[in-house]
Amino acid sequence: MMKWLDQLERKTRRFAIVHLMNYIVFGMALTFIADFMGLGFSRMLSLNMAAVARGQIWRLVTFVFLPPNTSLLWILFSLYFYWMIGSALENQWGSARFTLFYLTGMIGNILAALLTGYADNMYLNLSLFFAFAALWPDFEIMVFFILPVKMKWLALLNAALFVWQLIVGTWSTRAVIFFSLLNVALFLGGDLFNRIKQDSHYWKTRYNFRKSMKK
């Protein structure tokens, strides 16, 4: 990890929120239930800068509680998935660093909203996914509860989705993608570079070994 990140973590440690993902997932679940009952909570919580300018400043925080989808079946899977990867990252990094990671992602979304007028938490949550995949690329999850797939392949699939959205998406979408990827790079850039370097050395050694065996 980079030294500046370690220093920032020490300075902000007293503000760490233990089990942060529990609160976020619980908030998403409550918002989903309220929307399902027709109360329209999502409209009141979304990061709409025009509404913020009118005094609804709670939206700068509450947008993190927007549920990822409106399907009753998929919401259970999605919330469990977010809770799992968020908790794993907190256990790996500690509460202080994980809180800092999520807060930095929130700030990135707010900056994107300032530029374009609106942002949501979709790509913020996907940044958690990329962070998890970077740390545990060979971890397997059961897609549709039957198909085992490693995180690194899902990460590549999501990376392709990001590229596509950068091409065809709105400027609001492009802005939140940029800041989400920047957040991952800030916290995991060093680890990703070292992993790529190690993998490159492994494949180079393997190639040279096979080449020598053929002689």
What residues does each domain of the chain span?
A: 3-214
Burial of 210 (0-12, 13-18, 19+ CB in 10 A): exposed
Report, in this order, helix, strand and coil percent for the chain, each rounded to 5.
80, 5, 15
Question: Helix 122-135 crosses helix 171-214 at what angle (to 10 degrees)?
Answer: 20
Which residues of the chain carry a pLDDT beneath 70?
1-2, 4, 143-145, 189-215
pLDDT score for 1: 46
CATH code, 3-214: 1.20.1540.10
pLDDT score for 137: 86
Query: pTM of the full predicted structure?
Result: 0.81
Nearest to 180 by CA among 122, 97, 124, 114: 124
For 15-64, what is each residue's pLDDT tens digit?
A: 889 999 999 999 999 999 999 898 888 999 999 999 999 999 999 999 99
- CA 206 – CA 214 distance, rounded (Å): 13
pLDDT score for 50: 93
